[in-house]
Chains A and B, each alone.
Chain A
Amino acid sequence: MKKSLISIQDFSKEEILHVLETAKEFEKNRVQNILEGKVIACIFFEPSTRTRLSFETAVNRLGAKVIGFSDATNTSVSKGETLKDTIKMVSNYVDMIIMRHPLEGSSRYASEVSSVPVVNAGDGANQHPSQTLLDLYTIMQTQGRLDHLKINMVGDLKYGRTTHSLLQAMSHFSPEFIFTAPEELKMPVEYKDFLNERGIKYTETTSLEEHLDDCDILYMTRVQQERFTDPMEYEKVKDVYRLKASMLENVKPNMKILHPLPRVNEIDQDVDETPYAYYFKQAENGLYVRMSIISCLLGYR
Chain B
Amino acid sequence: MENINKELKVSALENGTVLDHIPAENVYKALDILGLKGIGNQITIGINLSSKLFGKKGIIKIADRFFQDDELNKLALIAPHATVNIIRNFQVVEKKKLVMPHEITGIAKCMNPKCITNHQPVRTRFTVLEEDGEISLLCHYCEKRSDIKSLF
A127 is an interface residue with CB less than 8 A from chain B: yes
Q: In whole Å, how far is A138's beta carbon from the nearest beta carbon of chain B?
A: 24
CB contacts (< 8 Å) of B112 on chain A: these are: 104
Select the residue from B110, B114, B116 with max chain A CB neighbours within 10 A: B116
A105 is an interface residue with CB less than 8 A from chain B: yes
A64 is an interface residue with CB less than 8 A from chain B: no
Q: Tell me which residues from 131 to 146 in chain B have a Cβ below 8 Å from any Cβ of chain A.
A: 139-145
Supply 14 further A-B pairs (C-beta < 8 A) apart from A103-B120, A104-B114, A104-B144.
A82-B120, A103-B115, A103-B119, A104-B115, A104-B143, A105-B110, A105-B115, A105-B116, A105-B140, A105-B143, A109-B122, A109-B141, A126-B142, A126-B143
Chain A 106-118 interface 0/1 with B at a Cβ cutoff of 8 Å (1 = within):
1011000000000
B106 is an interface residue with CB less than 8 A from chain A: no
Q: In whole Å, how far is B104's beta carbon from the nearest beta carbon of chain A?
A: 16
With beta carbons under 8 angstroms apart, the residue of B110, B114, B140 that contacts A108 is B140
CB contacts (< 8 Å) of B140 on chain A: these are: 105, 108
CB contacts (< 8 Å) of A103 on chain B: these are: 114-116, 119-120
CB contacts (< 8 Å) of B119 on chain A: these are: 103
CB contacts (< 8 Å) of B110 on chain A: these are: 105
In angstroms, Cα B120 to Cα A242, docked, is 41
The answer to whether A106 touches B143 (Cβ under 8 A) is no
Q: Tell me which residues from 46 to 86 in chain B have a Cβ below 8 Å from any Cβ of chain A.
A: none
Who on chain B is nearest to A110 by CB? B116
In angstroms, Cα B117 to Cα A82, docked, is 12
With beta carbons under 8 angstroms apart, the residue of B115, B121, B139, B142 that contacts A82 is B121
The answer to whether A190 touches B145 (Cβ under 8 A) is yes
In angstroms, Cα B122 to Cα A108, docked, is 11
The answer to whether A124 touches B114 (Cβ under 8 A) is yes
A271 is an interface residue with CB less than 8 A from chain B: no
In angstroms, Cα B139 to Cα A190, docked, is 14
| A→B interface (CB under 8 Å) | 7, 82-84, 101-106, 108-109, 123-127, 190
Given contacts A82-B120, A82-B121, is CB(A102)–CB(B114) below 8 Å? yes
Q: In whole Å, how far is A191's beta carbon from the nearest beta carbon of chain B?
A: 12
Select the residue from B110, B120, B142 with max chain A CB neighbours within 10 A: B142
With beta carbons under 8 angstroms apart, the residue of B115, B116, B139 that contacts A83 is B116
In angstroms, Cα B138 to Cα A190, docked, is 11
Who on chain B is nearest to A84 by CB? B120
In angstroms, Cα B124 to Cα A173, docked, is 33
Who on chain B is nearest to A82 by CB? B120
The answer to whether B141 touches A105 (Cβ under 8 A) is yes
For the complex of A and B, the 7 pairs showing the least CB-CB separation, nearest first, are A105-B141, A104-B142, A105-B142, A105-B116, A106-B116, A103-B116, A108-B141
In angstroms, Cα B122 to Cα A67, docked, is 26
In angstroms, Cα B119 to Cα A103, docked, is 8
The answer to whether A105 touches B145 (Cβ under 8 A) is no
Q: In whole Å, how far is A171's beta carbon from the nearest beta carbon of chain B?
A: 16
CB contacts (< 8 Å) of B142 on chain A: these are: 104-105, 123-124, 126
CB contacts (< 8 Å) of B143 on chain A: these are: 7, 104-105, 126-127
Who on chain B is nearest to A190 by CB? B145
CB contacts (< 8 Å) of A106 on chain B: these are: 116, 141
CB contacts (< 8 Å) of A104 on chain B: these are: 112, 114-116, 141-144
CB contacts (< 8 Å) of A101 on chain B: these are: 116
In angstroms, Cα B64 to Cα A101, docked, is 48
CB contacts (< 8 Å) of B139 on chain A: these are: 105
In angstroms, Cα B84 to Cα A293, docked, is 50
Who on chain B is nearest to A9 by CB? B143
The answer to whether B121 touches A125 (Cβ under 8 A) is no
Q: In whole Å, how far is A120's beta carbon from the nearest beta carbon of chain B?
A: 11
Who on chain B is nearest to A125 by CB? B114
CB contacts (< 8 Å) of B141 on chain A: these are: 104-106, 108-109
Who on chain B is nearest to A83 by CB? B120
In angstroms, Cα B142 to Cα A127, docked, is 9
In angstroms, Cα B116 to Cα A105, docked, is 6
CB contacts (< 8 Å) of A124 on chain B: these are: 114, 142
In angstroms, Cα B142 to Cα A61, docked, is 32
